[in-house]
Structure 1
Amino acid sequence: MSYFDPPRIHFGGKFFTDPSTVNNDPTHYEAKNTTPSPWQNPNGQHRYQLRSCMVTSAVDENGDVSGDPIIGSTVETTDQPSTAKIADLDVYQQSVPTIYGMQIKITLADGSSIVGTMDPAALNQVWFNAVLPTRSWEGGDYVQDSFGGDMNACGWYQSVVRFQVADWPETSSAILQKLRETTMMEDGAYLVSIKFVMDGYENVPQDSNYQLGRIVGTLGPVFQNEPRHNPGHRWMAARQWADTDPWNYPSFMDSPFKVDVNRKKLILDLANSICRKTAGGAPVDLGTLTAVATTPDPVVVELGPIDYSEFTYNGHAAITELDLSDGQLDVLQSASLSLVMSKTDIGDPKVLLEAESKVNFAAEIRPIRMMGDPGTTATTTVYISNNGAPFAGKQLNVHIESVKGTTPGATVPPTNPGNTPQVDGALTATITPSDENGFATVTLNVLKDPGQRTSELDGQLYFVILYDPDVTYPDWTKVPPAQNQVVSVIVWAQYAIDENPSWDKIQGLFEPYMKLFPYMKGQIDMTDQHTFNVFMMNPPWSQVYGDIPAGPLGINAGAIPYYMSRDFDDPMFMPVTRDLSPNKIMTIMHYIKNMQSAPPSSESQNKKA
C-alpha cells in the first residue's frame, strides 16, 4: 500500500519556500493596526520549490536496486504553469500549510524524463522539538536549541502525483517501468504515491541557507481503495515527553510501519520520528535500536536491530526494512511492536510503542474552507484500520471545538481571543460508520453565520476532532489531539454578493490583503483605483493567456480577474493566501464587469473605505 510498497524510489536534497510572515500575527488583522511588524520575511511570495534534489536509492521486491539509471536522476519542480505555492489555512491554524500546483520532473542522465503534478497536500504531524536542545534554564527546560524557530520543526506531506500518459514515456530505467506497470490509473493519468519529510528550515535572513531546508522523500505505487494522504498502516506512538525532563532527553514523534507478509519484511518509516542532534542533521545517538514484539500474554520477542543512521535517513528517506522469520511474522500478527534503545541515560528506553488495540484512523483532507450561508455542506473521508487492514463497520464520533488563543493546537499566543460573538452552534458534523474499505465520511453543515473575528479576519476557525468512543482520551482543553485526527475548518462569515459595488467597497476588501501580503502591493496595488483600473481592463486574455474560456460573468480581459478566477488549487490563484471568501471574490468580479462594460475615467479617485 502506497509509498511503503515496491517498487519504491527515494530522493533527497533541499527545499525552498518563502511564505510572507506579516500575516502570522493575529493582532495584524485589526483595522487599527496600520503598521504591522514585518517579522523575518514580509516580502515573501509563498513559493515552494525543490532544490538540488536527486534520486538516492530504489527498492524492488528483492531489495535495494543497483545499476538502474534512475539512481542519481534529478528531481525538480518545473515552476510550470507557475511556481508552486504554499499557504496557511488561518492565522490561528498555521500547522496545516497546503502546497498547491507542484509539478515534479524526474530526469535521467540520458535526458529522458517524466513529469507529473501533485494533488494539493497539507502538512501533517509537525513538531517543534525535533532538534535536541543545546541549552537549559535553571529550574526549567528551554526545550529548543539555541537557534529557535522553524529550524526545530519537522513534518511530512503525503499525496499522489498525476502523470499524464504522454508525460511518462518509455525510459531506460527498469524500476520506473515497473512502477508504471504496478500503479493504478485514474482519469487517463498514472498515479504515484509521494511522501516527503522536511526539517532544518533556515528562517534567519542573515544566514546563507535562508529559506532553505532539508527534504527526503519516497515515491511508490497507488492501489485502489487505499488512503492517499496517510500511510494507512500500523502506528507506533512516541514516548511521552514531560516538561520536567532534563534538557538532554530527546523527543520523538509517532511512526507508521507495515508488516509485509508476502516479502516477510518489517518496514519502518522513521523520517519524522527521531530527534536530530542539530537542525537538518543526524539523529541523536540512541545506541542500538531494537524492534521488539510483545504479545498480550505477554511474551517478548526480539525481532532485530533497526538502522536509524544518518546514511539511511538521507539515502532511503529513513525507511528501513528488517527481514522476518516465519515465527516472527506470525507473532507480529497479534503482538504490539515497540522500538527499544540500548542507552539508559536519556529517558525511557522504549521510545516508540504500538497500542494494544491497533485501531488507527486519520482524516484524508484536513484543512477545509466553507461559506457561512446556512445549508452549506462539505465532506472529507477518514480511513480506519485495525491491525493494518481496513476496519469495516467502525463508528467514530466527532467533537467540534471553536478555536481561540488558549485552544491546544492553536498557533497563536493564548492572549488572542479568536472566537466571534456568534461562534456557538454555527457548525455541525456527523460521521458514518466505515465502509468495507475502511473509509468513513465526515459531513460538515453550516447552520448559521459565524460572523467575523475582526473586521479583517473573516469567519471562524473550528477544530473537528475525530475520536474512538471505545478509547479514553486526555482533556482536549489541555492536550491537543493527534494532528491527523483533526479537521481544521474555516467557516467564512455570511456575505451577500453585491452586484453593483462601489469602489470604496472594493478598496475595503483589498486593504487587509495589501497590508498582510506586502509583496503583492509592490506588484499591483489593489487599493489604488488607477492601478486597479489598468489591470482590471488589460490585457485581453486571448493575447496573453491563449485560447481559454471566459471567466465569471463572461469576463475575458484583465490580469486581476484572470488570476482571481483560476481554480482554487491552481498555483496562479489570487489571492495567494486564499483568504477571500467566494462571495467577496464574486463582488469584485461584478465591479470589474460593470467597469469593463462602462469604462471609468482614468483619473484616480482614491478613497479609504
Structure 2
Amino acid sequence: MSYLHAPRLVFTGDFLSDVSTVNNDPAHYNNTTFKPNFQEPGKGATNGWWNPEGGAVFDFQNCAVKQIFLPDGTTQSDPAADIIIGQAIQGADGRPTGKMVDLDPDAQMYSAIWCVQLRICDKNGGLLFKGDVATTSFRDIQMRQLDGGKSNGQPLGATWTSLITNVVWGDLAEQSPFLKTLRATTQDNTLAINMNPFGYYYAHNDGRFSLGRIMGSIGPYFVGEPTTFAATRRLYGINYTPSIQGTYFSVSNFLVEQAAKRVSVDFGASFPVSDSIGTIHYNQDLRLAVSKVPQTGVASASTPVSYISPDDLIEIGTLDYQNDPGWLNQTAGIVSFSDLPDATVSALASNQLILITPSTAQPGQYAIIAREAIDGLVMRADNFIQRLDDGQSVNVDFYSYQWGNALPDTAIGITLDPPTANTPVGPGNPISEVYGNNFPASGLSFEGQVTTGPDGKAQVQITGNAINSPRVYIDGQIYFITYQAGTVDAAFGTENVVVHLRDYFAEIADPVWDDISEMMVQYSNLYPIMSKYVVNLADPAALAEKKNILIFAFSRDMNDTMHMPVTRDLSGTKRQTILNWLNNPQIAPRPALRTQAKQAVNANPVAPGTALTDRQAKYREAVKAKNGSFPGFRATENLFENL
C-alpha cells in the first residue's frame, strides 16, 4: 500500500454517514422483547439511539483536491499549476451511493465502507478519473479532538486504507501532468487510497448531523503490497494525556525513501484538533528526529515522560503548522522532508524515528511525543475482517517488516480469545439477556502458528464450522482472534482478526412464511426506514406485492450497492431461502410439529463454551422438551434438514 509514495494527491472535505442506529444495541435484535419506541431517537437503551431511520448511506460531500506532491519533492497547491488541484471529489454517478455498516452489534469498531465509487470531476462534470474503492474496515481508531467531542459527540477518528480498482481515466486526465505521472507510476491500473474520518456528528443542533470530516491521500499501487494497511513504518504516541486518559499522536504511518533521501509522515489520522472540522490551535514546537539510542517508553498513566539529549539524536526538521489553523485541512497532515543529509538517511536505515518537542521541565532536553517500535518492527494482518458460512475457508495474509523492509522467518502466534460472559437483564441491561462472544470454540479451525517466508508474508487458513445460534436471537457469532509476533514491540499490544461466523442453516426449497418470518420481522424492527419508505418487511402480504424489487435486492452480489441486507449478516442458505419464498410466496403455516420443534430449539439457548458437535442430539432434546416424546428418526432428520 503506497499512498505515501510520489506522486500523490491529498483531499479534504466532509463525508455523509447515514447509519442506522436501532441495530447498535444487541438487545434490539430480540423480536420477543422489541418495542415500538426502540425505533424512536433519543438517549439510552430503550430507544433507537441518535439515527433510527438511517439508511446506511456513505458519500463524499464538499470534498476537493488540496495539494499534489511530485516525485521531485515539490508540493503544488495552486490550481494554475495543474488542472486537478481544486477539483471535486465525488461519489457515484448514475447508481446508488456506497454504504457504511458495522460488522455486528458486538463489533462496532470495525465499520466498513461498501460499494463506494470515487470520482474527480471539474465544475462542469468533466471526468479526470474514477474508480471503485474496495471494501475496507476501520483501523487505528484513536483520540482526535481536544474538546473531547463536546460539540459533535464523537471525539475519535479512524483510518480506512484500500485500493481504487476499475480505474477509468477521463479525457481531462490528459490535461493533468500529475495524472499522467501517476498513471505511468502505478501498477495494474489500480491506485492506493488512505482516508482518515473524524469529527462525526451525533448532535442534531447545527446542521452537521450525520456528517463528519474526512482527509485522504491517493497515490500509486505496487503489486504485492497489502491492501488494508500501509506497508510503511509507524510512529506510536507515548505521551499520556490524563485529561483524555489516553494519548494523541497515537499511530502515524511514515515512509523512508533512501534513494530520494526523503521521509514522509502522515499525521492526518493522529494530529490533535480543536474541533470537529480539523481546526488546529495546538501550539507546540514539534520536530522529527532520528534517535541514536533505542527508545522503549510507552504511554500509560504511571509512566513518566521520556526525555532525550540533543547528543543522542539527529534532527530532521520542524513541523510548520503553528501559524495556520487550516494547515491540516490544506495538507491532510502529511509532511515530507526531502534532500536529507547522507548521515540522516543512513541513520534512518536502522534507527528509530521520533517526534519530539523542546522540554520546559528539563531545559536542554527534548520530550519524546511519539517513537517508532523497537528495532523498527511492524507485523499486521491484511484482510483482518471476515464473514464466513459454515464449511467456508479463507486465507488471511500476514506481513512482517523491519525498518520498512520485508522480514522473513518471523513466527506469528495466533489464538482465539476466551469466551465472554452473557449479560443478564438488570439495571444496565434492561431489555433482554445479551449473549457473549467467542463461543463455541469449535466454530473456527486454524493453525496456531505460522512463519513468514522470504517475502515477509505468511498465510493462515481459517475455516468456519457449523454453529447453532449461540447468541440465540442474533445470527451467528463474533470471534476475536489475537495475533502477535514474539519479536514485535509488545509495548503497543496486539491486534485482532475478527470473524463473523454465520449460523448453520439448511436451505428450504419450498418455504412458507413461518420459515422466514423471524428473519424478516427482525429486519423490519432494525431498519424502520424500509417499512416507512419501501415495504413492511414484517407483513408477508406486503412482501408478496413488492416481491420483484426484493428478489432483485436479495439476489445481488454482496459487493453490489443494491445488495440486501445492508449488514451482510445472513448466510447464503438463509438468503436463498428468502429468495425461494419470494419466488413462491406461501403465507399458510406448516403443520404444528415443525413449528413447535422450531420454537423448542429457539427456547433452549447454549451457554458460552458449549460444544455444538451433534446438532441432531440437540434437536432430539428440544423436541422431547416441547412435546414430551421423540417422533422418530426420519421425522427428526426432516426437522434437521428444514428448520
TM-score calculated relative to the size of structure 1:
0.83
Contact 1:404–1:416 (8 Å) recurs in 2: no
Greater Cα shift, 278-287 or 154-163:
278-287
Change (3 A) 1:585 1:321: same
| AA partner of residue 592 (structure 1) | L
- What is the deviation of 1:464? 1.2
Change (3 A) 1:301 1:421: closer
Q: Does 1:368 align with 2:371?
A: no
Separation in 1, partners of 2:105, 2:437: 15
Separation in 2, partners of 1:248, 1:421: 28
Contact 1:88–1:97 (8 Å) recurs in 2: yes
Change (3 A) 1:158 1:472: closer
Counterpart of 2:520?
510
Change (3 A) 1:413 1:370: farther
- What is the deviation of 1:97? 1.0
Q: Kindly tell me the number of residue pairs found equivalent between the two proteins.
A: 547
Separation in 1, partners of 2:360, 2:510: 71
- What is the deviation of 1:119? 0.8
Q: Does 1:28 align with 2:45?
A: no
Q: Does 1:68 align with 2:82?
A: yes
- What is the deviation of 1:403? 6.0
Q: 2:537 aligns with which of 498, 506, 526?
A: 526
* SS of match in other structure, 2:545: helix
Counterpart of 2:578?
588
| AA partner of residue 568 (structure 1) | M
Contact 1:450–1:460 (8 Å) recurs in 2: no
* SS of match in other structure, 2:508: coil
Q: Where does 1:246-257 land on structure 2 (aligned, <5 Å)?
A: 246=243, 251-257=248-254
Q: Deviations for 1:18-65, whole angstroms, at most 9, x for unmatched residues? A: 100011111212233221212111000000010011111101112113
Contact 1:404–1:417 (8 Å) recurs in 2: no
Q: Where does 1:100-139 land on structure 2 (aligned, <5 Å)?
A: 100-108=114-122, 111-127=126-142, 129-133=143-147
Contact 2:408–2:452 (8 Å) recurs in 1: yes
Percent identity between the two aligned chains: 25
- What is the deviation of 1:165? 4.7
* SS of match in other structure, 1:583: helix
Contact 2:191–2:219 (8 Å) recurs in 1: yes
Contact 1:564–1:575 (8 Å) recurs in 2: yes
Counterpart of 2:192?
193
| AA partner of residue 120 (structure 1) | T
TM-score calculated relative to the size of structure 2:
0.79
Contact 1:2–1:231 (8 Å) recurs in 2: yes
Counterpart of 2:399?
383
Contact 2:287–2:357 (8 Å) recurs in 1: yes
- What is the deviation of 1:421? 9.9
Separation in 1, partners of 2:64, 2:14: 10
Contact 1:402–1:460 (8 Å) recurs in 2: no
Change (3 A) 1:345 1:426: farther
Q: Does 1:303 align with 2:316?
A: yes
- What is the deviation of 1:417? 4.8
| AA partner of residue 453 (structure 1) | R
* SS of match in other structure, 1:349: strand
Q: Does 1:322 align with 2:337?
A: yes
| AA partner of residue 562 (structure 1) | F
Contact 1:104–1:117 (8 Å) recurs in 2: yes
| AA partner of residue 330 (structure 1) | S
- What is the deviation of 1:405? 7.0
Q: Deviations for 1:524-583, whole angstroms, at most 9, x for unmatched residues? A: 1122121111122xxxxxxxxxxxxxxxxxxxxx21111111111111110112222221
Counterpart of 1:239?
238
Separation in 2, partners of 1:167, 1:72: 17
Separation in 2, partners of 1:273, 1:395: 30
Separation in 2, partners of 1:160, 1:232: 13
Q: Does 1:17 align with 2:17?
A: yes
Q: Does 1:178 align with 2:191?
A: no
Separation in 1, partners of 2:141, 2:293: 32
Separation in 2, partners of 1:600, 1:413: 35
Counterpart of 1:292?
289
Q: Does 1:146 align with 2:150?
A: yes
Separation in 2, partners of 1:468, 1:406: 31
Separation in 1, partners of 2:498, 2:257: 33
Greater Cα shift, 457-466 or 431-440:
431-440
Counterpart of 2:625?
none
Q: 1:578 aligns with which of 568, 581, 599?
A: 568
Q: 1:50 aligns with which of 42, 60, 64?
A: 60
Contact 2:239–2:247 (8 Å) recurs in 1: no
* SS of match in other structure, 1:99: strand
Contact 1:6–1:220 (8 Å) recurs in 2: yes
- What is the deviation of 1:307? 3.1
- What is the deviation of 1:493? 1.6
Counterpart of 2:5?
5
| AA partner of residue 57 (structure 1) | Q
Counterpart of 1:202?
201
Change (3 A) 1:241 1:403: farther
Separation in 1, partners of 2:544, 2:368: 64
Counterpart of 2:622?
none
Change (3 A) 1:487 1:225: same
Change (3 A) 1:33 1:225: same
Q: Deviations for 1:497-548, whole angstroms, at most 9, x for unmatched residues? A: 1112211222222111110111112211122121111122xxxxxxxxxxxx
- What is the deviation of 1:413? 8.5
- What is the deviation of 1:163? 3.7
C-alpha root-mean-square deviation of aligned residues, in Å?
Answer: 3.0
| AA partner of residue 251 (structure 2) | D
Separation in 2, partners of 1:177, 1:59: 13
Change (3 A) 1:75 1:428: same
Change (3 A) 1:404 1:575: same
Contact 1:525–1:532 (8 Å) recurs in 2: yes
Contact 2:397–2:457 (8 Å) recurs in 1: yes
Larger Rg: 2
Q: Deviations for 1:41-94, whole angstroms, at most 9, x for unmatched residues? A: 100000001001111110111211351111111111125421101111011111
Separation in 2, partners of 1:270, 1:74: 23
Separation in 2, partners of 1:61, 1:34: 58
Contact 2:129–2:173 (8 Å) recurs in 1: no
* SS of match in other structure, 1:505: helix
- Structure 2 residue runs without a partner (length 5+): 39-46, 295-310, 589-594, 600-643
| AA partner of residue 483 (structure 2) | L
- What is the deviation of 1:170? 4.2
Contact 1:384–1:434 (8 Å) recurs in 2: yes
* SS of match in other structure, 1:486: strand
Separation in 2, partners of 1:564, 1:107: 33
Separation in 2, partners of 1:132, 1:399: 36
Greater Cα shift, 559-568 or 432-441:
432-441
* SS of match in other structure, 1:425: helix
Contact 2:278–2:326 (8 Å) recurs in 1: no
Separation in 2, partners of 1:319, 1:421: 39
Q: 2:348 aligns with which of 327, 332, 338?
A: 332
